[in-house]
Amino acid sequence: MADSDDASATADWREAVGGAKLRLVERMAATRTADLELDPQLHLELLTTAVRQQSAAMLTCLLRATTPSEFQLSSCVRVAAEVQALEAIELLVAHGADVNARGNAWETPLFLAIEHTSTDMAELLLRLGADLSQPVGAYRHSAIHVMAASGRLELLQLVRRVRGDVATFGARNRHEGYTPLHAAAWSGHAHVAQFLLETLGEAATVDIDAESRYDETPLTFAAKLGFLDVVRVLVSRGADVNSVDTGGSLSALFGAAESGNFAVVQYLCEHGADVLWRRFDGVSALCVAAREGCADIVEYLAEARGADLNAVTFDLTALNEAVIRGHTDVVRVLLAHNAPAREDVERDSTLLCQAILFGRVAIAHLLIQHGADVNALYSLVIDGEHMQLTPLLVAAGCGNRAVVEYLCEQGADVEARSDQDETALFFAALWGHLDVAQYLVTNRGADILATTSYGFTPAQVSKQLDDARGSQEA
């Protein structure tokens, strides 16, 4: 019977408040407050409904019916901010609601006002004492950071007008050390960056090259993400185009080149960026652009900016990087600018063999057209073993018949041997590449009985060559 009465009471309250029946709610609030005291969840539900209805009279009635808890007030004040219920905010705060109350996702009323683009709500919350430095949202940034990242210039101007505290525009967040200028930069909001710099500049508190805890500056963010307008604002206001992070791993030019942002690369170079700067491990902007396949940036740096085409990092040049990753257009650009197609045989990696090893057929063609020697012995490291191989030996071992045929057509010596006297046929047989082996025997007359330095012939390592041997002997 009691459960039935409780259910009936709940239904009565929901019908009265949900139906916006103010007179009925007033009568119930005067005679049935015990219902709300015994069921805090129902009270919260009704308060929330009144807030969403934006009915100040209904909300006032429910607030007076029984004293709401801190949790109820906090929940309602966030809902009010979300639905832009200005009167409800004032009523709730007057009844003790915390204007900075955070939800489970660290959302505060001010954070919700920013998210829902409510300038009037934001102004009211600021006047009621909203905390601008409090970590909010999933990333625990301050409200100022959120405004900057969202491009909400009008809210930043509002903060300046209502609070007048310029220092807050340069404050770092508590975890990563980002400033609002960082937030504007990584979000691409040039107009916000301009405002922040002008405001901070007036107070002589601007640190345009401020590094975060992860060593990023606003300029490196904007450059890497390709926000040219932000880059222009920062550079025009004095940002150091050659500023390098503490670890020596990133400059603005390097970040722009790595991300393929040609317009930013060009602008930075025109404003004094050091093209020859190299990361702590020796990688240059040219090298990283080649690695990422950015042919336009590679061409610009090589042709217009005098980038060093021969700089070596971990035995790799920009051309090596492009070959290994299969960026044919980049290889073509570098070869056109006289990057070497041949390498010292003492090096552990060579361009033509790298192209073949990674199956870059078109690049192998380009390299040979530019003078790569199809019969030279190159020093390679394969599976940790140092080997002296010709390009044909590499192609045969990889089983790439198209490359094998092309190399033979270009004059590759079918009987050329490795430092262990292995032939191309031996490698094809050893690794089970029957089609390559048959081509070498049938079309190129490869010697099936050629013996390696350790006494094996191709026929001995592959019984599959028996038929080919019979046809050759016949």
Give the lowest-confidence range in 197-211, 286-300, 413-427. Answer: 197-211
Model confidence at 342, pLDDT cuts 50, 70, 90, reads very low
Q: Is the pLDDT of residue 467 over 70?
A: no
Model confidence at 312, pLDDT cuts 50, 70, 90, reads confident
Question: What per-residue confidence (pLDDT) applies to 311?
Answer: 81
* CA atoms of 140 and 254, how far apart (whole Å): 29
Question: What per-residue confidence (pLDDT) applies to 76?
Answer: 94
Question: What per-residue confidence (pLDDT) applies to 403?
Answer: 93
Question: What per-residue confidence (pLDDT) applies to 420?
Answer: 92
Beta carbons within 8 Å of 179's beta carbon, 6+ residues apart: 170, 171, 172, 207, 210, 218
Beta carbons within 8 Å of 473's beta carbon, 6+ residues apart: none
Question: What per-residue confidence (pLDDT) applies to 370?
Answer: 87
Domain regions of the chain by residue span: 241-340, 343-474
Q: Is the pLDDT of residue 2 over 50?
A: no
Task: Compute the average pLDDT of residues 31-38.
Answer: 79
Give 145-161 pLDDT, tens digit per residue: 999 999 999 999 999 99
Percent of the chain topping pLDDT 70: 93
Model confidence at 348, pLDDT cuts 50, 70, 90, reads very low
Give 86-104 pLDDT, tens digit per residue: 999 999 999 999 999 988 8
Yes or no: say if 424 and 446 are a contact pair by the CB < 8 Å rule. Answer: yes
| Three-class SS state of 141 | strand
Instruction: Determine the distance from the C-alpha atom of residue 218 to the mean position of all C-alpha atoms in its chain, rounded to a whole number.
Output: 16
Of 188, 189, 170, 187, nearest to 179 by C-alpha is: 170
Question: What per-residue confidence (pLDDT) applies to 347?
Answer: 42
* CA atoms of 12 and 8, how far apart (whole Å): 6
Q: Which CATH architecture has domain 343-474?
A: Alpha Horseshoe (1.25)
Percent of the chain topping pLDDT 90: 58
Q: Which is higher by pLDDT, 9 or 449?
A: 449
* CA atoms of 166 and 203, how far apart (whole Å): 7
Model confidence at 345, pLDDT cuts 50, 70, 90, reads very low
Question: In this structure, which topology does domain 241-340 adopt according to CATH?
Answer: 1.25.40
Question: What per-residue confidence (pLDDT) applies to 3?
Answer: 53
Cα-based angle 395, 414, 324 (whole degrees, multiple of 5): 20
* Domain 241-340 identical in fold to domain 343-474: yes
Structure tokens at 183: 């937030």
* CA atoms of 135 and 111, how far apart (whole Å): 10
Question: What per-residue confidence (pLDDT) applies to 474?
Answer: 46
Structure tokens at 160: 């300046």
* Arithmetic mean of pLDDT over the chain: 88
Q: What are phi and psi of 342, to 5 degrees?
A: -110, 155
* CA atoms of 10 and 133, how far apart (whole Å): 41
Give 262-305 pLDDT, tens digit per residue: 999 999 999 999 999 998 888 999 999 999 999 999 999 999 89
* CA atoms of 288 and 318, how far apart (whole Å): 8
End-to-end CA distance of the chain: 106
Yes or no: say if 204 and 168 are a contact pair by the CB < 8 Å rule. Answer: no
Give 380-419 pLDDT, tens digit per residue: 776 778 889 999 999 999 999 999 999 999 999 999 999 9
Model confidence at 5, pLDDT cuts 50, 70, 90, reads low
Q: Is the pLDDT of residue 85 over 70?
A: yes
| 432 Rama class: left (phi>0) / alpha (psi -120 to 50) / beta | left
Of 237, 244, 228, nearest to 276 by C-alpha is: 244
